[in-house]
């Protein structure tokens, strides 16, 4: 998520309405500081955001009264003296709902403001074969189940974000073009509203890779990483780009369509209609074709994807020649594209998510070697390659985090 901006005092005396607006803004700034930097003392918050400590004390008291933060002692092991008091995000009765519509499943989860997972369900479905109407029917059923569970627990959703592959029109909540699932001009947000008798206040649709990047960035901010690229891997390949702590969308919102970089020397056809896309080299379908013949169980969409990837992992560990050769080729082709991105963007980290999470330990060393060899800057420009710990949950988690932004904006 983005870093809060420092407070700037008004240039002239503020009227009562201006003062109220400034105070709401400052409440949001304090809450964002805790979200992005973790529990902190009031003195630390004051230093971080540039406000006087008495002002921060007053703001924290108001946030406590709103049930959005709580104060508690710090853990101080092995030291003498009274432990300090830290301010923590609270808000356990508010949540954001994230939904991912992927090529092979619909995933719904809910996260509270203090990052507790309070609902999660994933339903397998061949999205391209089922068609958009059936998939939206399924999605609505799963969202209704989520809303019912949240209602029983007394948790109020503040928004819902749908993650989908491809080009998204965020203004209308439509999937404009998603070749991996065969969708064009599908009004996802309107379709869900029509199917749900009770909806969260706001329904947003965004690109899956961008939302995954928000979730991944939330995990690495403690390592002082504010420039990163998150690669999502399934049938399609996309990237979410974080630059100086902010999600990079581009002039038209299309930044991150790296799967269609023309890198394939064999010029194989791509689902986008062109030839030679990087996706055809490192997408899931490409790996499965390399690793096994068409009748092999690893190609069976009725078998859970994690199960099929676990089987590939087992074969590689057992020394199966075809599987090992497929993974070596995947690592080399990944390195080719990632080196190009590292040369252009100079990120501190590249995070491999999606299906790469499940076989990444078998290829990551070779990918790192490839970057060190290919990237022009010494030591790959300081770029490290990491494996996601979120895997296939990242996009939905990012959606839930984006939905929770409503809390920070509405104070």
Given a cut of 90, whether residue 80 has pLDDT beyond it is: no
Burial pattern 112-125, b for ≥16 Cβ within 10 A else e, equals bbbeeebbeebeeb
**354-383 pLDDT, tens digit each:** 999 999 999 999 999 999 999 999 999 999
DSSP result, 312-368: HHHHHHTT-HHHHHHHHHHHHHHHHHHHHHHHHH--SEEEE-TTHHHHGGGTHHHHH
pLDDT, residue 37, reads 83
Q: Do 83 and 98 belong together in one domain?
A: no
pLDDT, residue 302, reads 83
Pick the last residue of a domain from 63, 89, 115: 89
How many structural domains does the chain have? Answer: 3
Q: How far apart are the C-alpha atoms of 389 and 143, rounded to whole Å?
A: 25
Phi-psi region of 83 (alpha: psi -120 to 50; beta: other; left: phi over 0): beta
pLDDT, residue 316, reads 97
**pLDDT band with cut points at 50, 70 and 90 for residue 411:** confident
Q: How far is CA 168 from CA 102, 265, 299, 314, in A?
A: 14, 29, 29, 37
Q: Do 24 and 141 belong together in one domain?
A: no
Q: Do 401 and 387 belong together in one domain?
A: no
pLDDT, residue 350, reads 97
Pick the last residue of a domain from 70, 89, 108: 89
What mean pLDDT value characterizes the chain? 90
Q: Do 354 and 240 belong together in one domain?
A: yes
Alpha helices in 50-168 (DSSP H): 53-65, 127-130, 132-152
**92-128 pLDDT, tens digit each:** 899 999 999 999 899 999 999 998 999 999 999 999 9
Q: Do 244 and 274 belong together in one domain?
A: yes
104 inside domain: yes
Given a cut of 80, whether residue 19 has pLDDT beyond it is: no
Given a cut of 80, whether residue 268 has pLDDT beyond it is: yes
347 inside domain: yes
Phi-psi region of 396 (alpha: psi -120 to 50; beta: other; left: phi over 0): alpha
The CATH number of whichever domain residue 303 belongs to comes to: 3.30.420.40
2 inside domain: no
6 inside domain: no
Given a cut of 80, whether residue 4 has pLDDT beyond it is: no
Given a cut of 70, whether residue 1 has pLDDT beyond it is: no
Given a cut of 70, whether residue 267 has pLDDT beyond it is: yes
287-292, long-range: CB < 8 A, 24+ apart: 287/312, 287/326, 287/327, 287/330, 287/355, 287/359, 290/322, 290/325, 290/326, 290/329, 290/330, 291/315, 291/322, 291/323, 291/326, 291/327, 292/322, 292/323
**pLDDT band with cut points at 50, 70 and 90 for residue 2:** very low
**pLDDT band with cut points at 50, 70 and 90 for residue 196:** very high
CA nearest neighbour of 87 among 35, 14, 134, 47: 35
pLDDT, residue 28, reads 87
8 A C-beta contact, residue 377 and residue 346: yes
Q: Do 233 and 356 belong together in one domain?
A: yes
342 inside domain: yes
Q: Do 146 and 187 belong together in one domain?
A: yes
Q: What is the pTM of this model?
A: 0.86
Q: 137 is in which domain, residue-wise?
A: 94-211+395-409
3 inside domain: no
Lowest model confidence (mean pLDDT) among 219-228, 290-299, 388-397: 219-228
pLDDT, residue 188, reads 97
Element at 404 (helix H, strand E): helix 394-409
Q: Do 376 and 233 belong together in one domain?
A: yes
Q: Do 206 and 226 belong together in one domain?
A: no
User: How many Cα neighbours within 13 Å face the side chain of 18?
Assistant: 7
Q: Do 245 and 299 belong together in one domain?
A: yes
153-157, long-range: CB < 8 A, 24+ apart: 153/118, 154/93, 155/92, 155/93, 155/94, 155/95, 155/110, 155/112, 155/118, 156/93, 156/94, 156/95, 157/94, 157/95, 157/96, 157/97, 157/110, 157/200, 157/403
55 inside domain: yes
223 inside domain: yes
**pLDDT band with cut points at 50, 70 and 90 for residue 83:** low
Q: Do 53 and 114 belong together in one domain?
A: no
Section 4-27 average pLDDT: 59
Q: Do 243 and 376 belong together in one domain?
A: yes
The CATH number of whichever domain residue 77 belongs to comes to: 1.10.10.10
| Strand duo 349-352 + 167-169: pairing | unpaired
């Amino acid at each position: 998520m983005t870093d809060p901006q420092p407070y700037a005092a008004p240039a002239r005396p503020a009227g009562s309405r201006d003062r109220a607006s400034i105070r709401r803004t400052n409440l949001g700034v304090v809450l964002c500081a805790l979200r992005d930097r973790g529990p902190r003392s009031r003195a630390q918050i004051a230093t971080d955001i540039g406000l006087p400590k008495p002002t921060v004390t007053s703001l924290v008291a108001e946030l406590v009264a709103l049930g959005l933060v709580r104060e508690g002692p710090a853990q101080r092991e092995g030291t003498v003296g009274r432990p300090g008091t830290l301010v923590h995000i609270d808000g356990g009765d508010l949540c954001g709902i994230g939904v991912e519509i992927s090529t092979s499943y619909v995933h719904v989860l809910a996260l509270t403001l203090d990052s507790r997972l309070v609902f999660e369900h994933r339903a397998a479905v061949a999205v391209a074969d089922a068609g958009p109407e059936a998939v939206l029917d399924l999605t609505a059923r799963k969202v209704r189940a989520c809303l019912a569970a949240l209602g029983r627990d007394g948790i109020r959703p503040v928004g819902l974000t749908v993650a989908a592959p491809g080009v998204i029109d965020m203004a209308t909540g439509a999937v404009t073009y998603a070749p991996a699932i065969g969708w064009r001009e599908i009004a996802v947000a309107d379709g869900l509203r029509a199917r749900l008798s009770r909806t969260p206040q706001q329904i947003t649709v965004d690109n899956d890779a961008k939302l995954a990047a928000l979730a991944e960035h939330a995990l690495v901010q403690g390592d002082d990483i504010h420039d990163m690229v998150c690669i999502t891997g399934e049938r399609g390949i996309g990237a979410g780009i974080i630059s100086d702590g902010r999600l990079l969308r581009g002039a038209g919102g299309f930044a991150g369509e790296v799967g269609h970089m023309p890198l394939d020397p064999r010029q194989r056809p791509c689902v986008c209609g062109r030839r030679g896309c990087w996706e055809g080299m490192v997408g899931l379908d490409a790996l499965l074709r390399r690793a096994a013949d068409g009748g092999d169980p690893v190609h069976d969409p009725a078998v859970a994807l994690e199960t099929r990837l676990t089987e590939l992992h087992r074969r590689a560990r057992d020394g199966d020649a075809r599987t090992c050769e497929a993974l070596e080729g995947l690592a080399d082709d990944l390195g080719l594209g990632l080196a190009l991105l590292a040369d252009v963007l100079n990120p501190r980290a590249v995070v491999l998510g999606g299906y790469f999470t499940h076989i990444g330990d078998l290829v990551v060393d070779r990918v790192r070697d490839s970057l060190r060899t290919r990237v022009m800057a010494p030591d790959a420009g300081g770029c490290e390659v990491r494996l996601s710990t979120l895997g296939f949950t990242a996009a939905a988690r990012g959606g839930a985090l984006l939905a929770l932004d409503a809390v920070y904006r509405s104070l």
